[in-house]
Amino acid sequence: MWYLLIAMLVILVLAGAVVLYVAFPHRGEDVPHVPWVGRLMRRGVAAAPTLDNTSDDVEPPAEPLDLTSPRGSHDFPGRDR
């Protein structure tokens, strides 16, 4: 029982930290009333290893997508309502 309670508290604290980071330091703003938390989060994120997602080896799609033709759920064969 205590293990479950402690695990849930840890999960809630981590989720709160993610929401706090996305709401303030990720956008370049300080956290209200506790600016040291934002600076600490920015420093931690800067030290974390990341993957390079700016690769020049991007493959174009095989064929262009046709976004002009409207399609509804009735256009799929074998799907009855």
Residues 17-39: tens digit of each pLDDT? 888 888 887 787 888 888 888 88
All structural domains of the chain with their residue ranges: 8-34
Amino acid in the structure at residue 38? G
Nearest alpha carbon to residue 29 among 20, 3, 52, 74: 20
pLDDT at 10 over 80: yes
Dihedral angle, C-alpha 40, 45, 47, 50, nearest 10 °:
180
* pLDDT, tens digit, 9 for 90 and up, residues 38-71: 888 888 878 887 776 666 666 766 777 677 766 6
